[in-house]
Each structure stands twice: as C-alpha cells, then as structure tokens.
Structure 1
C-alpha cells in the first residue's frame, strides 16, 4: 500500500513543479515561497481549528492534529530550517534554469537518500536496486551534456550548484522524515501543520531583511494563481508521502525513488508548456531515470 501512496505523492509533486515554474518566472523568489507555504498553511488551518474546538469530529475525519511536547516542536523546527534552505536554493535555480534541466537533477535525491538509508537505517539494497540507482546517476550525466547545448555549462553555472545543494538538503530532510514519523509517532497532518508554521516564521525573518524594506521589490512582485496552487498541491503530496512513511515496512530509499516518477509530468508536459529546447533528446536520459525507478520497484 505504501508504494501506491508514494505514486500519489509523485502525481501531486509533478503538478506542483509545473505550477512552481510558472509562479517564479520574473518574480522574487522569497515572497513566492512565502506565498506558497502560506497558502498550504491556510489549507490545513481548518483541521487545527477543528482539532481544538471539535476534536471528536476531526478525529472521525482522520485529520486530528495532536498536541505535542516542546522537544518535538524543536525537531520539527530543524526540519523547517533544512527545507527552507532547500526551497530557497531550488526556487532560485528554477527561476534561472529550464524545468527540463532542474527536475532531472532533483531526481538525484533518491541516490543521496539511498546512501543515507543504508548508513542510518541499515536498509539493505538488492542487486537490481544498485543497478537502478546508478542508472539514475548516469542519466543525470547525459542531462548535463544536453544542458551544454542550451548554454548551461554545469561546472560554471552557479544555479546548477544551487539545485544540487537543494537536492542534497531535500534528501536529508527525507531521511529525517522517517525519524519524525516512525520514531516520534507523528501523524502526517500534525507534522505538516507545525512544519508550515515554523517555515513561515523563518521566511518572514528573511523577507524582513531582503524584501519588505524595499518598495521597488514589493512593486515588482506579481501575484499569480499558481502560487496558491503550489501550496495546496505540496500539502497533498506531503500528506500521501507521510502516510506512506507511517507503514513500518516502508523503505525510505524506495519511497524516495518512487516519487521521482513525477518526471513524466515535469519533463514531458513542462517542456511543452514552457516551450523549452531539446525535448526529444531529454527523453533518452528521462527513460534511463524511469528505468532505474522501475528496477527499484521490480526488485
């Protein structure tokens, strides 16, 4: 069951990436990020209000947000800091790079998760899983060659390093999620609510220094409907992902790889919508990544 929940998370993440590309085009990254997280927070806020004033009804719906000790709040705040840094780097990269380059690099996340799962959680990969992960990495090398034809030199482009850093931090957060969900026994909606709250506080501090004091930046900001869509789609994806992690049999290394099937939406549909170049050539390494994911699932 947890694999199917992972595929649902991948579906919403693929749509989320398309909306995110539209939201950041020609826009300041920090206010867009605050808008998306804020929209997601408002989406789940009624569940928190229901948990306070109508606990029985909210429990019956399956969306009750539990009271948690301060120590657990501290653990969630750490996740918020990790993901805030990851998103800031990822949004900046997405603003300056084609989505058909950014999304496949993000697909290297399962490789980092794979290594972490072996070291931290003693998850044991099978032979086909090894082949699948190295197929993903090899396919990313092919993407780098295609990127050069679009004037994107991977070794010299700072936004490439930004998306690699975002990918590493995102993978670290994925490993941390397993600790939060399984070791601390947090349910998805409780983690999502407090994670959004602390991330909003972090972003407000950053914006109070980099954006709010500057009138020109505020006037240049363009509100788009996709900002709200990004927040809601991300909450839906996270909910199914965290539900999958609640299964004690769930392997974080495989779940992370399953989520990368979002590439079908991001590369194929995204390439058409945003009219990006070399779409056919990008299908070759895309096939390699999907084959790697398939081998992981098959094994």
Structure 2
C-alpha cells in the first residue's frame, strides 16, 4: 500500500513543479516561496481549526492533530531549517535554469537517500535496487550533456551547484522524515502544520532583510494563481508521502525513488508548456530514469 501512496505523492509533486516554474518566472524567489508555504499552511490550518472545534468529527475522519512537547517542536524546527535552505536554493536554480534540466538533477536525490538509508537505518538493497539507482545516476549525467547544448555549463554555472545543494539537503530531509514519522510517531497532519509554521517564520526573517525594506522589489512582485497552487499541491504530496512512511514496512530508499516518477510530468508536459529545447533528446535519459524506478519497484 505504501508504494501506491508514494505514486500519489509523485503525481502531486509533478503538478507542483509545473506550477512552481510558472510562479517564479520574472519574480523574486523569496516572496514566492513565502506565498507558496503560506498558502499550504492555510490549507492545513483549516483542518487544524476543525480538529480544535470538532475533535470527535476530526478523529472519525482521520485528521486529528497531536499534542507535542517542546523537544518535538525542536526536531520539527530542524526539518524546517533544512527544507527552507533546500527550497531557497531550488527556487533560485529553477528561476535561471530550464525545468527539463532542474527536475532530472533533482532526481539524483534518491541516490543520497539510498546511501543514508543503508548507513543510518541499515536498509539492505538487492541487486535490482543497485542497478536501478546506478541507472538513475547515469541518466542524470546524460542530462548534463544535453544541458551544455542549451548554453548551460555544468562546471561553471552557479545555479547548477545550487540545485545540487538543494538536492542533497532534500535527501537529508527525506532521511530525517523517517525518524520523525516512525521513531517519534508524528502523524502527517501534525508534522505538516508545525513544519509550515516554522518555515514561514524562517522565511519572514530572510524577507525582512532582503525584500521588505526595498520598495522597488515589492512593486516588481507579481502575484499569480500558481503561487497558491504550489502550496496546496505540495501539502497534498506531503500528506501521501508521510502516510506512506507511517507503514513500518516502508523503505525510505525505495519511497524516495518512487517519488522521482514525477519527472514524467515535469519533462514531458513541462517541456511542452514552457517550450524548452531538446525535448526529444531528453526523452532518452528520461527513459533511463524511469527504467531505474521500475527496477526498484520490481525488486
């Protein structure tokens, strides 16, 4: 069951990436990021208020919120710091790079998660999983070759390093999620609510320094419907992802790889919508990544 939940998370993540590309075009990254996280937080907050005022109804429908200690709040705050850093880097890269380059590099995340899962959680991969992960990484390297044809030098482009850093931090957060959900027994909605809350506080501090004091930057900001869509779609994806993690049989290394199937939406549909170059050539490494994901599922 947890694998199907992972595929649902991938579906919403793919749609989330398309909307995110639309939201950042011609916009400052930090206010867009604050808007997306805030819209997601308001979406979850509706259920939080329902649970507070109608606890029995909420419990019957499976969205009760746990009472947690200050120590648990501290653990969630650490996750917010990790993901806020990852998002800042990812949004900056997405603003300056084609979505058909950014998304495949992000697909290397399962490799970092794969290594961490073996070292930290002692998850044991089999031969098919080894082949699948190696195939994913090799396919990402093929994307770098295609990216150079679009004028993107992978060695000297700072936005490439930014998306690699975002990918590493995102993978670290994925490993941390397993600890929060399985070892601290946090349910999805509780984790989502407080995670968004602390992430908003972190972003407000950044914006107070980099954006709010500058009138020209504020005037240049363009609000788009996609900003709200990004937040809501991300919360939907996270909910199914955390629900999958609640299963004691769920392997974070496999779940992380399953989520990478989102790139079908980003590369195929995104390439058409944003009219990016070399779409046909990108289908070759795309097939490699999908084969890798299939091998992991098959295993």
Q: TM-score, normalized by length of structure 1? A: 1.00
For 2:217, the equivalent position in structure 1 comes to: 217
Corresponding residue for residue 201 of structure 1: 201
Q: Which residue matches 2:145? A: 145
- Which runs of structure 2 are paired with 1:243-258 in the superposition (5 Å)? 243-258=243-258
The answer for the alignment partner of 1:16 in structure 2 is 16
Aligned length: 299
- 1:16-42 Cα offsets, whole Å, 9 max, x none, are 000000000000000000000000000
**Alignment partners' CA distance in 2, 1:46 and 1:59:** 15
Question: Per the alignment, in what secondary structure is the counterpart of residue 26 of structure 1?
Answer: coil
In structure 2, what is the equivalent of residue 64 of structure 1? 64
Equivalent residues in 2 for 1:40-51 (5 A)? 40-51=40-51
* CA displacement at 1:47 relative to structure 2: 1.5
Give the C-alpha shift of residue 202 in structure 1.
0.2
- Give 2:174's aligned residue: 174
Structure 2 CA distance, aligned partners of 1:286 and 1:164?
18
Paired with 1:205 and 1:190, the residues of 2 have a C-alpha distance of 23
Give the CA deviation at 1:49: 1.2
Task: Please name the residue that 2:291 is paired with.
Answer: 291
Q: Deviation per CA, 1:185-235, whole angstroms, max 9, x where unpaired?
A: 000000000000000000000000000000000000000000000000000
Q: Which runs of 5+ in 2 are unaligned?
A: none
Between the aligned partners of 1:55 and 1:80, the Cα distance in structure 2 is 27
- 1:7 deviates by 0.1
Question: Structure 1 stretches (4+) deviating beyond 4 angstroms?
Answer: none
Shift of 1:48: 1.4
Task: Give the RMSD, CA atoms, in angstroms.
Answer: 0.4
SS in 2 for 1:257: helix
Residue 230 of structure 2: aligned partner: 230
Q: Please report how far the alpha carbon of residue 54 of structure 1 lies from its aligned counterpart in structure 2 after TM superposition.
A: 1.4
Name structure 1 gaps, 5 residues minimum.
none
Q: 1:51: Cα distance to partner?
A: 2.1
- Structure-1 residue corresponding to 2:100: 100
With normalisation by structure 2, the TM-score equals: 1.00
Secondary structure, aligned partner of 1:280: helix
Structure 1 distance, partners of 2:261, 2:159, is 23
d(CA) in 2 for partners of 1:48 and 1:188? 12
